[in-house]
Amino acid sequence: MELNDATTILSALAHEGRLSVFRLLARRAPEGVRPSEIATALGLKPNTLSVYLGALERAGLLNSERQGKSVFYSVHLARMGALVDFLAADCCRGRPDLCAPLTARALATTGESAMPDRKFNVLFICSGNSARSIMAEALLASIGSAKFNAYSAGTKPFSELNPFAVEMLKRNDHDVSGLRAKTIAEFQRAGAPVMDFVFTVCDQAANEECPPWPGQPITGHWGLPDPVKVTGTDAEKALAFATTYAQMRRRVLAFAALPFDQLDRLALQAQVDAIGQIDGN
């Protein structure tokens, strides 16, 4: 990367609003996000967001792709990586022990070998921890009890389990006696289980900025439409929960079937990302 390119990128990011947009898209990488979703998550007016997106795209930081009637924006990962390399190339004469990003150091510590043969801690996160993440927790606890410790949490406090979700789990012979709504704070305090995998199952949770998880877990976004928002008769609501349950079950089954002892972190991350596209919208 040339000096003028780096200057252009840094100038585009030197604004609180533009940087917030970029960070949200970076959290959702490699998938794209609709402008309407970005505006809602950051509380931006559409015309303001359009200005921000235009500036970031002109700097080469974003890609845009039309899918049907919608335009999706995503981070240009190669250009951002080139900027990081440019900034660190001459730092401390290229000593990686001093200059490598924290994420790269963590990856070097964990290594690129296959995952160890042990039980993995898996956390599913949603906004309310009332339906989708609870279903995912119950499904993994049932399907992969020998290989996984399943947990779920929400980003909003004071949530309660949705009765339609509980009834759906009961009908499919899941033990719901130990299920309860929790917040992510419960898993960020001292003494909490260290996670090997962290999955967001709703777009709102994926868009929120959270502190890094200890242990550098593999992360993924398995977003599904919120059945809680479906209106109509009880039968129509029950159908929405049944659809969500079936979609989540297919993802959990695919995840539990992965050959963890044969995949390094990069290959496993790719598999996790692909699973997030099963039944995707």
CA atoms within 13 A on the CB side of 179: 28
- Establish whether the linkage from the previous residue to 259 is cis, with ω within 30° of 0: no
Q: What are the Cα distances from residue 25, in Å, to 44, 51, 253?
A: 15, 16, 28
Task: Report the relative pairing of strands 120-126 and 197-200 from DSSP bridges.
Answer: parallel
Q: What is the pLDDT of residue 102?
A: 54
pTM for the model stands at 0.71
Q: What is the pLDDT of residue 115?
A: 63
Angle at 63 between CA 57 and CA 64, to 5 degrees: 95
Which residues are CB-contacts of 170 (< 8 A; sequence separation ≥ 6)? Answer: 176
202 is known as an active-site residue:
yes
Cα-trace Rg, the chain: 20
The parts of the chain modelled with pLDDT lower than 50 are none
Report residue 21 CA to chain centroid gap.
16
Q: What is the pLDDT of residue 89?
A: 66
92 is known as an active-site residue:
no
Q: What is the pLDDT of residue 47?
A: 93
Contact 93, 82 (CB under 8 A): no
First to last CA, the chain: 36
Domains and CATH numbers, the chain: 3-100 (1.10.10.10), 120-275 (3.40.50.2300)
Angle at 220 between CA 130 and CA 132, to 5 degrees: 15
Among residues 91, 92, 99, 126, which one is catalytic? 126
| Helix/strand/coil for 208 | coil
How far, in Å, CA of 254 to CA of 233, rounded? 32
Contact 166, 176 (CB under 8 A): yes
Among residues 91, 92, 99, 202, which one is catalytic? 202
- Residue-wise pLDDT tens digits, 176-213: 998 999 999 899 888 899 999 999 998 887 777 666 78
